[in-house]
Chain A
Amino acid sequence: EDQVTQSPEALRLQEGESSSLNCSYTVSGLRGLFWYRQDPGKGPEFLFTLYSAGEEKEKERLKATLTKKESFLHITAPKPEDSATYLCAVQARSSASKIIFGSGTRLSIRP
């Protein structure tokens, strides 16, 4: 069964304190792995797609990496506005439709 597990569930950091969020996945043939950001009361906002192991993508203070079993979202020198829930999701080659989401990591950045 396709599955996505994110850790930690919650993470509190001081502004400027870099860290990483983990996403472990089990999928029968990975078609793509996605990272989304979700603010309270809003829909998920697309961040990155990773296609294959070894791939990396960057956007401002965020960098996503992918191996055959997990993905990391690295946050460098975060600011309070980076506070949100970060969602990891996978799409299997066998499915042309559904995305399987993890439960997310709630990130809080203290000024």
Chain B
Amino acid sequence: NAGVMQNPRHLVRRRGQEARLRCSPMKGHSHVYWYRQLPEEGLKFMVYLQKENIIDESGMPKERFSAEFPKEGPSILRIQQVVRGDSAAYFCASSPALAPPPDEQFFGPGTRLTVL
């Protein structure tokens, strides 16, 4: 019974490169959330997706960041032209469809992005 899976676990990029982070939700879950955790700071909401739809992207930076959750395959968080300030741990969480509120979210192990 696999939990939320994220890969890669560690990612190193040089400034200006692209970073692609993947998240496979728990079996039976169709809601995916992305959070960012900067060093010594709390988790900050970025985006909420359901299959093929972005529901809430109010926490996503307006430029360089995008997210998708296709009908088939994992959710992808994409960061274009990375800068040093993008270095952080990125966590994905999932919750089941039609869950009674409130919606408990279950987290993956995170991807630690380092920008050189």
Give A contacts to B, CB under 8 Å. Answer: 31-32, 34, 36, 41-46, 49, 51, 87, 89, 91, 95-104
Residue positions of B touching A, CB distance < 8 A: 4, 31, 33, 35, 41-45, 48, 55-56, 58-59, 91, 93, 101-110
Interface centre among A34, A44, A46, A101 (most CB of B within 10 A): A44
From A31, A49, A98, B58 is in contact (CB under 8 Å) with A98
Contact (Cβ within 8 A) B108 A43: yes
Whether B43 contacts A46 by the Cβ 8 Å rule is: no
Top-9 shortest CB links A-B: A32-B102, A97-B48, A43-B107, A98-B45, A103-B42, A101-B43, A97-B56, A101-B42, A31-B102
Nearest A residue (CB) for B59: A98
Does the CB pair B45–A99 fall under 8 Å? yes
Q: Which residues of A contact B102 (CB under 8 A)?
A: 31-32, 34, 49, 51, 91
A34 and B45 CA atoms in complex are apart in Å by 15
A49 to B59, CA, bound (A): 23
Whether the Cβ atoms of B101 and A31 lie closer than 8 Å is yes
Which of A31, A49, A87, A98 contacts B33, CB < 8 Å? A98
Told that A43-B4, A97-B103, A101-B44 touch, could you supply 11 new A-B pairs with CB distance under 8 A?
A: A32-B102, A32-B103, A32-B104, A42-B110, A43-B93, A46-B104, A49-B102, A91-B101, A101-B42, A103-B42, A104-B42
Contacts of B101 in A (CB 8 A): 31-32, 91, 96
Smallest CB gap from A34: residue in B: B104
Quick check: B42 and A98 within 8 Å, CB to CB? Answer: no
Kindly report which residue of chain A lies nearest to residue B102, judged by CB atoms: A32
Determine which residue in B31, B43, B101, B107 has the highest number of CB atoms from chain A within 10 A of its CB, and name it. B43
Would A98 and B108 be within 8 Å (CB), given that A103-B41, A103-B42 are in contact?
Answer: no
CA distance A91 to B110 in the complex (A): 21
Q: In the assembled complex, how far is the CB of residue B96 from the closest CB belonging to chain A, in whole angstroms?
A: 13
Shortest CB distance A6–B (Å): 9
Chain A contacts for B56, CB-based, 8 A: 95-98
